[in-house]
Chain A
Amino acid sequence: MPNLNAFLFITPEQHYLMYSSVVLREIMAQNQNVAFTMAEAPGGSAMPDPINRALAEIDPILFAGCGHGAKDTWTVECTTVYMQTGDSNARRMAGRIVVLNSCLVGSELGPSLVNDMGALAFFGSREPFTFYVREGPGVAYPEKSCFYAEWQSIDSLLKGKTAGQSQAERLARYDQEIEYWTTGAGAGYEDSYMVVRALRIDKDIAVFYGQEGVTVSSVSGEPAWNVMATAAGLSPIIAVGTAILLAEVT
């Protein structure tokens, strides 16, 4: 049985994935807690071998990441295939809650992880995930809006919500973002039109499978403590006790 309070985040950066990863990192930073063991495979570390080493080391209840995808395939950095329906890496998802921000994986891979591979729950998208781009990653709110909504499930899970509650809050966050760009402070933005349509598309394809009552944490409430370190040249992913160590491979 994977470890409660242990989480692995996969954050590739190439091929427009940085737009998603920067928002996921924000949410990770906001939810650090002394009780949590959080590991991240960032950028060049978001590759199959480092990911599998981290899975073996911390055996996390939560496996979350962004990547390009197809119905039966999820890729990581530089579109390297990590997992396909029924393969050995898909079997590694047994007992975990899996959250993938990726196109199409919610139509075949996701259901298979839950129904055939023993994953507890799966969050994903059943058609291409769409987002607005004009500025660079993490620079401005319009580029982040779709990802705040999509990664709301992670924020909710880390705050102790059940998978079912997290899915409901994910969909509600989409509504909040749509309202912000339609009648709220963002309505005057010149491309609010495109942001809203992208949000509506993503909400419409947001799927959840699995057990609604499961959680990733034995604690709830606000973060009590945080440590974040960045180290260059260390092994790609190291989880030290309750600290987060972000290790970039140079």
Chain B
Amino acid sequence: MTLELVEAWFNKLPEAEKDLPLLMVERVAYTPRQTLDQVRRDTSLGKSLQSLIERGSFGTLATDELNLAKIRLKEQLSRSTGKVVELQGVAPRVLTPLDLISEIDRNTPTGQRWIKAEMEQMQALVRIR
């Protein structure tokens, strides 16, 4: 993958995603903007990050990927103003962003669904071409 292709990938990402951690190398997370910078400077780190993009992967260890998904969820939910509703049981469950962060921290079934959705979205973002 050339620098041009990494730039094209970066430009297709939603603005809100460009400064969120997305790729992990040796247990350190990097945003797409940091990744582009490293690739432009042709560093060894840039090559590792570029390799992740080529492989459509966002990390090297499953546990790292899980932790990265949690970090991203919490960071974005802390800025959200909406709520979500679950059509569950005899009454709806209305969950604020803070409720969702709590569900994620406690690893509840709801929290696990959000983490899974986050990991799917991260994979989709890395694979944007």
Residues of A participating in the B interface, judged by any CB pair closer than 8 Å: 15-17, 19-20, 66-70, 75, 79, 101-104, 127-134, 142, 178, 182-183, 187-188, 190-194, 196-198, 200-201, 204-205
Contact = CB atoms under 8 A, between A and B. Distances in A.
Contacts of A79: 90-91
A194 B128 CA distance: 19
A129 B87 contact: yes
B90 A75 contact: yes
B87 A16 contact: yes
Contacts of A132: 82-84
Contacts of B84: 130-133, 194, 198
B107 interface: no
Contacts of A70: 88-90
A102 B91 CA distance: 12
B14 A183 contact: yes
Contacts of B77: 194
A104 B86 CA distance: 10
A79 to B, nearest CB: 5
Given A68-B91, A191-B80, A196-B121, A16 B14 contact: no
Interface residues of B, number: 36
Contacts of A104: 88
B113 interface: yes
A120 to B, nearest CB: 24
Contact of A130 (B82, B85, B120, B128): B85
Contacts of A129: 86-87
Contact of B82 (A127, A194, A204): A194
Interface of B: 12-16, 73, 76-77, 80-94, 97, 109-110, 113-114, 116-118, 120-121, 124-125, 128
A103 B117 contact: no
B14 A182 contact: yes
Contacts of B125: 182
Given A182-B121, A190-B81, A191-B81, A66 B113 contact: no
B86 A128 contact: yes
B117 A197 contact: yes
A70 B16 CA distance: 36
A158 B92 CA distance: 29
Interface core residue of B84, B91, B116 (most chain A CB under 10 Å) = B84
Contacts of B83: 132-134
A182 B85 contact: no
A188 B93 CA distance: 27
Given A190-B81, A201-B117, 4 more contacts: A102-B87, A192-B16, A194-B97, A200-B121
Given A200-B120, A204-B116, A188 B89 contact: no
A16 B89 CA distance: 13
B128 A183 contact: yes
B111 to A, nearest CB: 11
A39 B110 CA distance: 35
A101 B82 contact: no
Contacts of A102: 87
